[in-house]
Structure 1
Amino acid sequence: MTKIEIYSKGYCPYCKKAKETLNSLGLAFDEYEITNNEKLTREMYNRSQRKTVPQIFINDRHIGGGDDFHKALKNGELADLISKRAF
């Protein structure tokens, strides 16, 4: 089973767009809300080496932020990572 994780903040429009896209594709994901959570913010940075949200991981592989995620969706990389042909 594909493991999808997203670090996000409640007020972030890029996070909202990425989550809406995942939901529209029928993909389940674990969300880590990092607003006011120093521990999760550090965890996100340690995993991604980035400070911006969203940060998305598929099967522990860092996909990147919102723009990177949508690029992977368009170029087929996302479909390859989750082994679905519905894209």
Structure 2
Amino acid sequence: MTAVVVYSSDYCPFCSRAKHLLASKGVAFDEIKVDGKPQVRAEMAQKAGRTSVPQIWVGTTHVGGCDDLFALDRAGKLDALLRA
């Protein structure tokens, strides 16, 4: 399975939803927490072009945030991306 990276925050309900979806699919992911780490958040923002969390990558593909992840799943494209 393709490597998955999730930038998140402890107090973010969207982060929790995204991580729950991935976990429900049996996907292991690397979680990078940005809480109290302005340099890590700035690195995430530079890579993603967004400052909000979560920001999710599947391999080299930037999926986006929670809504983007769920939209990909509803479209039936998430599983294929995870297997690529």
- State the TM bucket, normalised to the shorter chain: over 0.9
The one-letter code of the counterpart of 1:10 is: D
Kindly indicate whether residue 30 of structure 2 is the aligned counterpart of residue 15 of structure 1: no
Kindly indicate whether residue 67 of structure 2 is the aligned counterpart of residue 67 of structure 1: yes
The one-letter code of the counterpart of 2:10 is: G
Higher RCO (Cα < 8 Å, 6 or more apart): 2
The one-letter code of the counterpart of 1:72 is: L
User: How do 1:1-87 residues align onto structure 2 when only pairs under 5 Å count?
Assistant: 1-83=1-83
Q: Secondary structure of the residue that 1:26 maps to in structure 2?
A: coil
User: In structure 1, how many angstroms separate the alpha carbons of the residues matched to 2:83 and 2:30?
Assistant: 18
The one-letter code of the counterpart of 2:81 is: L
The one-letter code of the counterpart of 2:50 is: R
User: In structure 2, how many angstroms separate the alpha carbons of the residues matched to 1:53 and 1:34?
Assistant: 9
User: In structure 1, how many angstroms separate the alpha carbons of the residues matched to 2:6 and 2:40?
Assistant: 11
> Number of paired residues?
84
Q: Secondary structure of the residue that 1:62 maps to in structure 2?
A: strand
The one-letter code of the counterpart of 2:14 is: Y
User: In structure 2, how many angstroms separate the alpha carbons of the residues matched to 1:60 and 1:43?
Assistant: 16
Normalised by the length of structure 1, the TM-score is 0.91
Unaligned runs of 5+ in 2: none
Give percent identity, aligned residues only: 38
Runs of 4+ in 1 over 6 A off after TM superposition: none
User: In structure 2, how many angstroms separate the alpha carbons of the residues matched to 1:18 and 1:56?
Assistant: 9
User: In structure 2, how many angstroms separate the alpha carbons of the residues matched to 1:60 and 1:31?
Assistant: 15
